[in-house]
Amino acid sequence: MVGCINGLGNSIPPFFIFPRVHFLNHMFKSAPTGTKGDANPSGWINTEIFLKWFDHFVQYGHPSQHHPLLLKLDNHKSHILIELMDKAKESNVVPPHCSHKLQPLDRSAFGSLKKFYSSACDSW
C-alpha cells in the first residue's frame, strides 16, 4: 500500500499494489471510496505505478496555484523521474529533491559557512 498523510493527520484514499500480473477491480469490493491500485508481480512500486499514484495524489490533494502541495518522499528509484518533475510543476506540487528552492541559504551562505567551518575544524 502507498499511503499519504499531511501534517494535520488527514489522508487520501489508499493506493494498493498487489503482487499479481493483472489488477482486477473486484479486489476493492469493500475498500474505502476512492481507493485505487495496480498490480506488479513483485508487489513493489515501480516508476509506472508511482506515476499512477501521483495522479491519485493530485486528484485527492487538490493542489492549486494559491495552495500548492509539498511532496516529501524517500529516495526510492521509482520516485526519481524527469516526468514526475514536469507533472508536479503542471499540478502545483512542489516535487521532492528541491531543497535548493525551499532552503536557498543552504546553497549559498550556509553552504560556504559549513565548508569553511569544517575546514577550520580539520586544521585545528
Q: Is the pLDDT of residue 36 over 80?
A: yes
Q: 35, 28 in Cβ contact below 8 A?
A: yes
pLDDT higher at 75 or 104:
75
Q: Give strand pairing partners of 18.
A: 39
Greatest mean pLDDT range, 23-27, 87-91, 99-103 = 87-91
The angle at the Cα of 105, spanning 102 to 107, to the nearest 5 degrees, equals: 85
Query: For residue 93, what is the DSSP state?
Result: E
Residue 62 has pLDDT above 60, yes or no: yes
pLDDT of 34 over the 60 cut? yes
pLDDT at 55 over 80: yes
Distance of CA 95 to the CA centre of its chain: 7
Query: What is the pLDDT at residue 57?
Result: 95
